[in-house]
Amino acid sequence: MSTRKTYDFAIVGAGVFGAWTARYLRRSGASLVLLDAYGAGNSRSSSGGETRVIRAGYGPDELYTRWAIRSLPLWREFFAEIGRELFIRTEFMWVSEEGDAHITKMWELLNRLGVKCERLGSDDLSRLYPQLRFPGRMFAVLEPESGVLMARSSVRALFESLDQAGVECRIAQATTPGGEGKLTELKLANRESICAGTFIFACGPWLPKLFPDILASRIFPTRQEVFFLGVPAGDRSFSVGKMPAWLHHSHADRPYMLPDIENRGFKFAFDTHGPNFDPDSGARVVEQPAIECLRRYLKDHVPALHQAPIVETRVCQYENTWNGDFLIDRHPDFENVWLVGGGSGHGFKHGPVVGEYLSARILHNAPEEPRFSLSGKRSRQAREVY
C-alpha cells in the first residue's frame, strides 16, 4: 500500500550522516521523512557507540583536516542549541617514531592552518604521561582543543531535534530500488512505500546490501573489536585531564585509546581493518585473539593496565571505501537518488560538514568534490585516509 503523501526528501539511515543532512534540508523548509531499520543510535549502527574522537590531524590531507576544523564548532553550536554539552575536551595525541612522514607533514599542515598544537619529544612524553611507555626515539603531536563526542547521545539528540522540527521519523526497513531514470517511490519491507522527490541513502554498512550491483565490491564492512578496561581503584591517572585520547600511529595495529569517560573505563581498540562483517547477523562478541593482542600491547606500553579487568566490550563495524574517502554521489541509474557512506573509522566527526556539503549539492548545485565520486571507488582495499 502506497502512502499518499509525497515528501521533498526521504532519507534512509538515521546515523550521523543522514541526521545532519536532514537537519540542513529541513532548515531549507523542505518536507522530510527519515527512516532507519533499527532506530537512531542503535547498537548495530556505525554511529551507535558511546564515544567518537574528533581531531583535526589527517597527516598531509588538507581536505579532511579543513572539514574537521569546521565540524567541531558546528557540533558545539548544536549542543548549545539543545542545552546539552556532548563534547568532552580530552585533547588528542598522535604518537609515533621520530621521522614518521605522516605525522611530520600533519604537524606542518596544522601549523599552516592555524590549528593549536604542540610537538612533544620522548622526554616530554615520559614527564607528562608516566603511565605510558614508549621506548626508543619517539615524538608526538598534541591537539589540546580536540577531544571526544558522545556519539550515541549526539545522534539521539539530532534525531529528537528533527522530530521536533517536523521531520517524520520512522523505524522502517527499505528495500532495493528497482528500475532506472527517476525513482518515485521506495518500497519498504512491511509492504508500505514512501513517495519523495529525492531519495538519500546514508545507511552505512547496509549500502552494499541495498545496492549490491554497484557497491558490493566498493564498500567494505569489517568487524572491529573494542574494549573497556577497569582502571585501578582510586587511580585518576587514566582520567580526562590526566591523559588525552591518543593513537599509536607507528605501531603495526594502530591502536587508539580514550581516557576513562563517565567512569566506563579506559577504551582501547585497533584501527586496522578486521574481517568482513554482516551488520544484521554478525555476532558481536569479542574473540580471544583480539584479547591476546590487547594484553601484549598493554604489557609493553600501558603496564599498569596489563592485567586490568575487561569491564565491557563491543563489536562494531567499519564501513570504508577502498582508500577511506567518503562516497557522496548520485546513483548512476537514478537522477534523484544519492548515496552517502564510506565514513566509518573516521567519519563521525565530519557529520555536520557532510550534511552541509550534500544539502548544498542538492539544493544549490554546489561544486562536487571528485574524491567523493562513485566512479573513483576501486574494488581493492588500500587505505590512505586516517
The answer on pLDDT for 363 being more than 80 is: yes
Q: Is the pLDDT of residue 3 over 50?
A: no
Reported as a single tens digit per residue, the pLDDT across 141-190 is 999 999 999 999 999 999 999 999 999 999 999 999 999 899 999 999 99
SS (H, E, C) 132-197: CCCCCCEEEEEECCCEEEEHHHHHHHHHHHHHHCCCEEEECCECCCCCCECCCEEEECCCCEEEEE
Q: How far apart are CA 99 and CA 139, in angstroms?
A: 9
Residue 321, C-beta contacts closer than 8 angstroms, at least 6 positions apart: 218, 219, 220, 327, 341, 342, 377
Positions of CATH 3.50.50.60 in the chain: 2-47+152-219+322-372
β 168-171/32-36 pair status: parallel
| Residue 103: strand, helix, or coil | helix
Mean pLDDT of 37-41: 97
E strand segments, the chain:
2-12, 32-36, 51-54, 87-88, 92-97, 118-121, 138-143, 147-150, 168-171, 185-187, 193-201, 220-229, 245-248, 255-258, 266-270, 310-320, 327-330, 337-341
Q: Which pLDDT band holds residue 1 (cuts at 50, 70, 90)?
A: very low
Query: Which DSSP state fits 70?
Result: H
Per the model's pLDDT, the better-predicted residue between 46 and 69 turns out to be 69
Instruction: Please report how the helices 62-82 and 351-364 are oriented relative to each other, as an axis angle in degrees rounded to 10.
Output: 100
The residue among 278, 350, 286, 357 whose CA lies nearest residue 315 is 286
pLDDT digits (tens, 9 = 90+) for 345-354: 899 999 999 9
Rounded distance, CA 332 to CA 355, Å?
21
Q: What class, spelled out in words, does domain 89-148+220-320 have in CATH?
A: alpha beta
Q: Is the pLDDT of residue 2 over 70?
A: no
Q: What is the pLDDT of residues 235-257, one digit of tens each?
A: 999 999 999 999 999 999 999 99
What pLDDT sits at residue 225? 98
Question: In terms of pTM, does the model score above 0.85?
Answer: yes
Distance CA 29, CA 119 (A): 46
What was the pLDDT predicted at 344?
84
pLDDT value for 345: 86
What letter would DSSP give residue 49?
S
Question: Average pLDDT, whole number, for the chain?
Answer: 97
Q: pLDDT tens digit string along 40-60? A: 999 999 999 999 999 999 999
Cell reading at 62:
588538507
CATH tag for 2-47+152-219+322-372 (out of 3.30.70.100, 3.50.50.60, 2.40.50.180, 1.20.1250.20): 3.50.50.60
What are 295-337's pLDDT values in tens digits? 999 999 999 999 999 999 999 999 999 999 999 999 999 999 9
Give the separation between CA 303 and CA 291, rounded to whole angstroms.
15
What CA–CA distance (Å, rounded) separates 328 from 339? 6
Interval 31-41 mean pLDDT: 97
- Residues of each domain in the chain carrying CATH 3.30.9.10: 89-148+220-320
Cα dihedral value 309, 315, 321, 326, nearest 10: -80
